[in-house]
Amino acid sequence: VAFPSPRSWEFAHRALKKFDGQPQLLAEALQACVGPAAGIELAAFVDNLDRLPDIDAIVRGESAEVPEETDLQYAVASALVGRAIRHRDAPDAQEVWGRIIEYAGRFPDREMGVMLISDMHRAIGQDLFSVPQFAQWARAVADVMLFDARKTGS
């Protein structure tokens, strides 16, 4: 029985190259390499790669669509956190983080934007609060972030 391990992920990497353009064969090969659950997840991720907006364009501040599908929004949010981490020590870190914050404000489900910024904060720390766009974003999502016990009857 296949299961995820460093060795089986290497086999999956080979399958990605060998079965590129053959989605059914790729899905089956990935499951054979890393097991059914991990194989199905990776195949779904690969199938959706071409539906993701250009992450580098978002970081550069260029126009990029926000996907409607929640799974794609999550993938974009995760990728943007990765870009935020990579730019932590870059001279343009504040600008990049500001662009990511602006993009986070465009998610149709505001909770996804909150998750993105929360993950960024955990990754890069207090420096996030000094980004000019942060205050405006925080005001826009305050109702999502604040819990009012009076409204719930608790």
Place of tokens 């390499």: 33
What confidence score (pLDDT) does residue 82 get? 97
Task: Report the SS3 class of residue 22.
Answer: coil
Amino acid at 73: Q
| pLDDT tens sequence for the chain (154 residues) | 899 999 999 999 999 999 999 999 999 999 999 999 999 999 988 988 889 999 999 999 999 999 999 989 999 999 999 999 999 999 999 999 999 999 999 999 999 999 999 999 999 999 999 999 999 999 999 998 776 555 555 5
Distance CA 130, CA 135 (A): 9
* CA end-to-end span of the chain: 50
What confidence score (pLDDT) does residue 49 get? 87
What confidence score (pLDDT) does residue 91 get? 98
pTM of the model: 0.77
Place of tokens 């955990």: 122
